[in-house]
Amino acid sequence: MALAALSGDEQRIIFVQLCNPLDPGVAVAFASASSELWELTQAPRQQLQADYEAAAALGREAGYWSCKELREAKMVDLSRRGMKLFRKGLSSDELALLGTLGSVLPALEELELCERAAGPDGVQRLAEKLGAGALPAVTRLELNGTDVGDAGASALAAALGRGALPRLKILDLSYAAIGDAGLVALAPALMRLPALELLFLSRNRLGDEGLAALVAPPPAAGAPPTTGGLAKLKGLFLGDTQIADAGCAALAAALDSGALPALENLGLHGIPASVEARDAVRRARRESSARRDGARGAER
């Protein structure tokens, strides 16, 4: 038959497109077309069945008793408070599985994952599975209290660079073990998110270097230009981090330059910066708000 004459790569292209673990019926029906095709697809079908069972189990733990419900869900709460039946939290393997489902959850708008059970590589493995266009409708991603780490932040940056989470408005990375290296890696991807409005980075070990990369990144030779920067960012929360005077100076300069034109809420409690440095940021924010309000009045 014609399919048998195709190369291995060509066959993989066909079957990968059929391997939706939330709806394996299409692949099974296609494979049932002939006995020869049935034999050719034995291994992929077995893997698909295993993936389907794992995805269905993960959905049940999140409160969805059928794959149809999970596909149509607008919010999935996989935090320990949301997963009433899943007290032990998610493993790294389960987070990786969740990443593979990113392309088959078109209705999902909010995803919460707030626990540390997966270990330091959990979010990294999740992000590595998010392909181009994954989680297309998600506007809020909450990883508060999850061990993201610098490696996880870098993997998330790569996922965003591939086009995952294109409509993201709210990103909560509070208490996520992210340092300067993680924010430096993540900053360019965040600046290319056209809809980002709220960014929570409180209770991380990041400091001046990371903040400077976020609000005033130096131009890099050959680097693609950012599109829109943080033009829609309304809230930036940096409390209980390691930001000192140099970071505050970078933030004040960004506000003075108009780099954060929509910023309304700024959290800086519990940082080691001096009172004078924090006051300079507050003045810059007030002046930025005044310019914004003046521009709005002129438009009217």
3-state secondary structure (DSSP) of residue 107: coil
Residue 151: which pLDDT band, with cuts at 50, 70 and 90? very high
Residue 8's pLDDT is 59
Q: Is the dihedral of CA 73, 79, 80, 81 positive or negative?
A: negative
Please list, in sequence order, all residues whose beta carbon lies within 8 angstroms of the beta carbon of residue 227, skipping any fewer than 6 positions away: 192, 194
pLDDT digits (tens, 9 = 90+) for 205-229: 999 999 999 997 555 555 554 445 7
> What is the Cα–Cα distance from 238 to 179, expressed in whole angstroms?
12
CA distance 150 to 116: 15
Dihedral over alpha carbons 245, 242, 213, 122 (to 10 degrees): 180
- Total residues belonging to the chain: 300
- Helix then strand then coil, in percent of the chain rounded to 5, is 50, 5, 45
User: Residue 126: which of 162, 106, 99 has the closest Cα?
Assistant: 99
- Average pLDDT of the chain, as a whole number: 83
- Say what the alpha-carbon torsion angle 71, 75, 81, 85 is, to the nearest 10 degrees: -20
Query: Helix, strand or coil for residue 296?
Result: helix
Q: What is the pLDDT of residue 63?
A: 73
Instruction: Enumerate the β-bridge partners of residue 235.
Output: 198, 265
SS3 call for 183: helix
Q: Say whether pTM exceeds 0.85.
A: no
- Asked if residue 191 has pLDDT above 90, the reply is yes
In this prediction, what percent of the chain has a pLDDT beyond 90? 51
